[in-house]
Amino acid sequence: MKKAFPVLGVLTAILLGYALYQALVVAPTEKTMGDVQRIFYYHVPSAWTAFILFFINFGASVVYLIKRNPAADIVALVCAEVGVVFCTVVLVTGPIWARPVWGIWWTWDMRLTSTLVLWLIYVSYLFLRRFSSGGQTPTLAAALAVLGALCVPFVYFSIWFFRTQHPQPVMGGGGSIDPRMLHALLINWLAFSCFAFLVCWSRYRLEKLQREVDQAHAMQSLLDPTGSVR
Amino acid sequence: MNGNPYLVAAYAVTWIIHIAYLATIVRRYARLKREIEELKR
């Protein structure tokens, strides 16, 4: 498995380069928005990737609540952390696109506001994991993750249920898209999904190792009553 | 495609965010490696 990581890393880097080429060169320029529309090839795949990671976090949290499996707890933590990174990208690239197209950086529209709330929920999840030291922390975090996951479909469907300034969905929204644009979008999604998978894998290994080291420290403290070991 | 500043900013910021996060992972790995070395001693 360790040998597969660098190989997958190189393949993902090539895929990300190809996806960038598709987004900037191959995909046609949109008539009304111009080149600024190309932000969509990073914004939308980042949002989809974040949603998938939050759903995996939800599944792993449920597994943890039922089975108390530490591996599920690590998966939940890792997916929340990487999901927050992708959600941050969404919240930053969205206003950069909105400024030239809408004339404003931000509006308290349902899609934008619910995405910000979703981000805040998962940031609070990470704060809980980081700063709470009690034995119940993983259980409390898992319960928060279950509630946070309920927000994901709300964010996704908010543009159907509410009058919003946000563009309608690319797929299932009744509109049409140039096949080259769709290809660029899907390639970018695939590339960012592979990238997210590798980051999660790396972060999982780190977290597992960290817990082993923490256990070793605890054991060493027990075996050294003088307290000379930190 | 021309160099629209908003487009350049969005793509640059995306990679700055990802690279910054990757840097935190690398830093945590380095710290953990030091801790493991200390434990071995």
Q: What are phi and psi of A163, to 5 degrees?
A: -70, 120
Nearest chain B residue (CA) to A29? B1
Work out the pLDDT band at A171, boundaries 50, 70, 90.
low
DSSP code of A23?
A: I
Residues of B with CB under 8 A from a CB of A: 1-2, 4, 6-7, 9-11, 13-14, 17-18, 21-22, 25, 28-29, 32, 35-36, 39
* Chain B residue with minimum CA distance to A204: B25
Lowest mean pLDDT among A61-75, A153-167, A178-192: A153-167
Calpha distance A220→A200 (Å, rounded): 30
Q: Cβ of B13 and A89 within 8 Å?
A: yes
| Range from A51-55, A72-76, A172-176 carrying the lowest mean pLDDT | A172-176
Which residues in chain A have Cβ-Cβ distances shorter than 8 Å to B32? 206, 209-210, 213
The residue length of chain B stands at 41
How much is the pLDDT for A174? 59
Alpha-carbon span A27 to A175, nearest angstrom: 18
What CA–CA distances, in Å, run from B29 to A203, A210, B15? 9, 9, 21
CB B39 within 8 A of CB A220: yes
Token pair belonging to A48:
């989809």
> Residue A11: enclosing H or E segment and its boundaries?
helix A4-21
The reported pLDDT for the residue numbered A197 is 97
Task: Indicate the range of A10-19, A103-112, A191-200 predicted with least confidence.
Answer: A103-112
Q: What is the pLDDT of residues A145-163, one digit of tens each?
A: 998 898 888 888 887 777 7
- Name the residue with tokens 């159907």: A160
Determine the average pLDDT of the residues in A169-179: 70
CA A158 to chain B, closest CA, distance in angstroms equals: 24
Q: Is the Cβ pair A34, B4 closer than 8 Å?
A: yes
Record: contact B6-A203, CB cut-off 8 A: no
Q: Identify all chain B residues contacting A96, using CB atoms and an 8 Å cutoff.
A: 6, 9-10, 13
- How confident is the model at residue A224, as a pLDDT? 75
The pLDDT-based confidence of A15 (bands split at 50, 70, 90) is: very high
Which among A24, A96, A209 has CB closest to B6? A96
How far is B39 from chain A, CA to nearest CA, in Å? 8
Instruction: Indicate the length of chain A as a whole number.
Output: 230
Domain boundaries, chain A: 4-28+38-164+175-197
| Any B CB within 8 A of A220 CB | yes
* Mean pLDDT for the stretch of residues A52-72: 95
ipTM: 0.92
Q: Is the pLDDT of residue A229 over 60?
A: no
Measured distance between the N- and C-terminal CA atoms of chain A, rounded to whole angstroms? 33
**Contacts of A66 by beta carbon, 8 Å cutoff, 6+ apart:** none
pTM to 2 decimal places: 0.91
Are A93 and B14 a contacting pair at CB < 8 A? yes
> Residue A115 corresponds to which tokens in the numbers above?
């995405």
The pLDDT mean for chain A works out to 90
* A6-15, A165-174, B9-18: range with lowest mean pLDDT: A165-174
